[in-house]
Structures are given as structure tokens and as C-alpha cells.
Amino acid sequence: MVFQHGRFAWYELITTDMAAATAFYAGVVGWGAQDASTPDLAYSVLSVVSGPVGGLVELPEDARKMGAAPRWMGYVGVNDVDAAAKLIARLGGVVYVAPTDSNIGRISVVADPQTAIVALVNGLKFGQSQPAGRNEPGRVGWHELLAADWEKAFAVYRELFGWQKADAAPDPTDAYQLFSAGGQTVGGIFTKRPTEPFPYWLYYFNVGDIDTATERVKAGGGVVFADPHELPDGSWVARCTDPQGAIFALQGRRRDGVARAGAGEVGWSSEWSGISSRGRLVRPRG
């Protein structure tokens, strides 16, 4: 695959129980796992039929003592990791992990000025940017930033990664800004509600059937804290946490015959996410 600066290229789950997390996501999303550990680091590669999707790594003990919790982290491909890390610092962000050569490539872990964490990568060893067809089951189909101030956040990411604004919601009161990377619309940014504890990135995993997937989340010890809601294009989304507490989202179709609760004119609430409260914003899918 051709590398593109500014495209999400890799995803990593930092967890407190690698074995349990591997089993959970295999059941919910269908990922296979392959050991890719080094003498200094336990690491698993998660994959779908077309290839690797992301990695699984243990949350360090010292980080746990400092209050760090399990989380999903996205890696954005950049032409120069060192230069990008210096730029985010100049823009008011924080460099948590200085540029370093790792088991997956040259990386740096940073936070934007509003504290949302993201990682930088170059020379990714397990593949490059995602295929153009993001609808494949098991792939990350959407990226969403819950920001403290979406306009200020977008300005930072535009300078850092070259992201561009895509179509906005038709109603100016619906402050959900789509963004494109490498000419493809891949996500949205919006200002989070005050009840959200901090800004963060949310990643949507593609599943075949949303009801089956959410049932498996519950059966596997996870929590579905926002039940499936329908998008105008007919797909459904749900927001969840895994048994160790990492937040993620699912998107898929709904099997025939299931009551479409909450569908219709009202759509799904902007209290749950930044998508239009009137259900009029259709996210691109492909």
C-alpha cells in the first residue's frame, strides 16, 4: 500500500490483560492475533483477512500507578516523526513519548493542546495506510475526535497533518466537522459535552451485524453504554467499553425484522455523539 502523510495507519490497544482482550475482540470484531513480541516487549498483531489492522500491548505498571487506564490509540502516518513531534509541541501540545525506533516503526506519542492523545508513525512494519475500501469487516471505518473546542482542534490537526474540511452538516447549529486525509473523508470532529471527562479519539470498528456484535460485547464482559442508533444511510452505530475499560465504537447493519427503535425524524441524539441531532448528516462510507 502507498504511504500517505496524514492518514491513520495503525491502531493499538493498550490494556491491562492482553489474553482477555484478545479473546474479547476476536469474539466481537473477529480479529485474529499473532504474537510479535520482542525480548523487551509483549506484543500481538491483530488482523483481518486482508492483513494487519493494529496491535495489542500491555499497559506498563508504572503508568497504572500514575492513573493511566486502558485505551485505544490511533497512529497517523507522517513523513518525518521528529519534525511532527516538534511541531505539535510548538502548537501547544505535549510529547509523551519522544521520537524513537520501535517494534512497529519510528513512533512518537503526543497529545494535542486539548489533551487528546494520538501517535505518529513512519516506516510502519506491519503495513501502511488503510485500503481505500474502509467498509471491510474488522477495519476501522470512522475516526471521531471529541474535542474541548472543535474549531481550535481542527486548526491544529490541519497544520500538523494537512487535513482538510469536508462537507459540514447542512444545519449550522450542528457543529460536526467532517475532515479528509489524502483526499478521502475519514472522520469528524466536534465539541464534546461537559459530561465527557476529557477530550479523546473514538474509533469505529466495522462489524457485519450490529445486534450480534453488541450481544457479544455484553456476553464477553464489556458494556454497551449507548445502544445502537441508526444513521441516515441505514447503518447502525453503538458505543462500548471492553472488559478492561477501553472505549470503542461499532458500526454495522441491522438484521431484517429488528424493530428500528429511535429511527425516524428525531434520529440519534447529539448528546450521544456529534452527528446531527436531526439525523440529516450522512457520513461517507467508502
Measured in degrees and rounded to the nearest 5, phi and psi for residue 87 equal -65, -45
Closest CA to 225 of 166, 266, 272: 272
Q: Which three cell numbers stand for residue 278?
A: 436531526
Query: How much is the pTM?
Result: 0.88
Beta sheet of 32-35, edge-to-edge order: 32-35, 43-48, 51-58, 8-15, 71-77, 117-122, 106-111, 94-101
Q: From the CA atom positions of the chain, what is the Rg in Å?
A: 18
**CA–CA dist 86, 90 (Å, integer):** 6
Render each residue's pLDDT in the chain as its tens digit; 286 residues: 446 899 999 999 999 999 999 999 999 999 999 999 988 899 999 999 888 999 999 998 888 888 889 999 999 999 999 999 999 999 999 999 999 999 999 999 999 999 999 999 999 988 654 454 567 889 999 999 999 999 999 999 999 999 999 975 544 545 789 999 988 899 999 999 988 889 999 999 999 999 999 999 999 999 999 889 998 888 999 999 999 999 999 999 997 645 444 333 223 333 344 443 323 344 443 3
Do 75 and 57 meet the contact criterion of CB atoms below 8 Å apart? no
Domains 8-122 and 140-253 fall in the same CATH topology:
yes
Identify any residues that bridge with 45 across adjacent strands, giving them in sequence order.
34, 55
**Given this model, what pLDDT does residue 158 score?**
97
- What CATH class has 8-122? alpha beta
**Backbone φ/ψ region at 79: left (φ over 0), alpha (ψ -120 to 50), beta:** alpha
Q: Tally DSSP H helices, then E strands, for the chain.
A: 5, 16
Q: Which amino acid is at 22?
A: T
Helix (H) or strand (E) holding 189: strand 184-191
What are the backbone dihedrals phi and psi of residue 16, each rounded to the nearest 5 degrees, phi first?
Answer: -95, -5
Reported CATH class of domain 140-253: alpha beta
Q: Name the residue ranges covered by the structural domains of the chain.
A: 8-122, 140-253
